[in-house]
Amino acid sequence: MKITTLNNFVCASIFAVSLGTTLNVHAKDTSADNAEYQQLLTQGHSLFKAKDYSKALSFYLASQDLEPLDSTLYNIGICHFKLKKWPQALSYFKQITIDEQSATVVTYNIAVTYKKLKKFSQAQQTFEHIILWAEDDKLINLASQQIKALKEQGNYQVSTHSTLAQSNKLDWQALVNVSYGNDNNVLEPDEDSASNTSDQFIETLATASIMQKNNWSLDLLYYGNQYSQASDYDISLISLSGRKYFPLANKDKLYLELSADKINLAGQPYISNQKLSVGYKTKLNSSNTVKLSGYLKRVSDDDSAYHYIAGTSSRLAAKWWYGTGNAQWTFGAKFTADRRNDRLTETSFTSYSTNRLLISTGRAWQWGDFHLGVNANYRMSEYIDTNSATFTIVDVTDTGIEESTEYTTSATRSDKRFYVSVDGEYEITPNWSITGEINRTDNSSNIDSYEYDQQNMMLGVSYQF
């Protein structure tokens, strides 16, 4: 669930009734000037006050169609709750964007709705989150009473992994995702060029993290991609990284990260990377977040056959998140400078040193337990040195004499790559999810051998704990 604060709410009244109900915050929003929208919203408020929640719901839904706002999503959720339509209420509450490290009346209502749905574990975790992060003493008191009620009803789970235990203790999480897919054009990893081979593959991603919230984290990652037939292109990676956070004013964050990874190609040593990263993340307002980051990386060859890939890499990046309602936009830019050893033989020179500029955008939606994402990027790569190759053609004359002619070709490689993907995830339970993705890559180059298009389709299952 993507979360930001509801700064648009002008609360006419806040009051709590018996445990097990929502906090009723009558939300008004004055940000929309549309006359029809304001009329629908006013009628909805009047009917809500008259406790005619069914009719109020219809007006709120109509106003949301005209002007999608978090405040209206909230009112729709409250109406569903009053009508005892718990799944629908939860779906709308979860579409509202609030800050991950805040706890508002929306967070409280999500917790209460979990309780109504008898999802006591999720309710407990959310109530505990409120106790830790809420700035409103009334919310903290209400959440504490809810925890007490869960205990009295025998629905409280004592666990070292509970939210309260994690606050100033060590927290951990892990995820395993296994996908089966089809690749219509397997790429040669060291050349970034097509093999013109189609094959099925199994992709495995496993992560494990241990952290102290807002202080530091230690992450272990394994990635493997194994083809059914084209085993020469199998890739596996294991990475270890440590990150230290430095909280700044207004919840801004600065971090430093050290990481190291090792990559195998076809089951044999390939390359290793050591990287130092720095990043700064700031929340401009309830809907806008910006992150600036950069890294310096050393690339080492684990097999002398790949010495030409070894070298250094540096990057500067910026990313902007803009979230409204149940959807979020992302925009990003990355500039990467790769300086590699390059490959020199008796008859050719191939440059692997390049400057790359990547522009990206994405759109994500969350509807209850279903996530959908669409992402695209455009990358321009300008290689530093000129590729050259010398070859000899032998011709036989009419008199039977062989004549050799030597030719030299040269070109400075320039690539333009477009990538687009659509991915989805459906949460079956809090731990299990079904995932799917389809993506396409088109790379154009002034050197024909580097032109390719590729399409992948994947379906997988994910477990996190």
The model's confidence at residue 414, banded by pLDDT at 50, 70 and 90, is very high
Read off the tokens for 355. 């400057």
pLDDT at 443: 94
Q: Which amino acid is at 265?
A: L
| Same fold: 10-166 with 174-464 | no
- Tell the CATH superfamily of the 174-464 domain: monomeric porin ompg (2.40.160.40)
Residue bearing the bigger pLDDT, 291 or 404? 291
For 286-321, the pLDDT digits (tens) are 678 899 999 999 999 999 999 999 999 999 999 998
Residue 441 and residue 417 in contact, taking contact as beta carbons nearer than 8 Å: yes
- Tell the CATH superfamily of the 10-166 domain: Tetratricopeptide repeat domain (1.25.40.10)
Place of tokens 């009047």: 46
% of the chain with per-residue pLDDT over 90:
47
Domain ranges of the chain: 10-166, 174-464
pLDDT at 197: 82
pLDDT at 16: 32
Residue bearing the bigger pLDDT, 27 or 114? 114
Residue bearing the bigger pLDDT, 359 or 158? 359
Read off the tokens for 440. 């396409």
For 441-451, the pLDDT digits (tens) are 999 999 988 89
* Residue range 218-246: mean pLDDT, rounded: 94
Q: Which of 143, 76, 80 is nearest to 108 (CA)?
A: 143
The model's confidence at residue 12, banded by pLDDT at 50, 70 and 90, is very low
- In three-state secondary structure terms, 144 is helix
The model's confidence at residue 210, banded by pLDDT at 50, 70 and 90, is very high
Q: What is the DSSP letter of 362?
A: E
Per DSSP, the residues of 181-246 read: EEESS-EETTTTEE----EEEEEEEEEEEEEETTTEEEEEEEEEEEESS-GGG-EEEEEEEEEEEE
Alpha helices in 19-173, H assignment, sequence order = 35-49, 53-66, 70-82, 86-95, 105-116, 120-133, 137-152, 163-166
Per DSSP, the residues of 258-282 read: EEEEEEEETTEEEEEEEEEEEEEEE
pLDDT at 251: 66
pLDDT higher than threshold 60 for residue 403: yes
For 30-71, the pLDDT digits (tens) are 444 578 888 898 899 999 999 999 999 999 999 888 888 888
Residue 376 and residue 362 in contact, taking contact as beta carbons nearer than 8 Å: yes
pLDDT at 102: 56
What distance lies between CA 408 and its chain's CA centroid? Answer: 47
> How many whole angstroms separate alpha carbon 425 and alpha carbon 458?
12
Q: What is the CA radius of gyration of the chain?
A: 28
pTM beyond 0.85: the answer is no
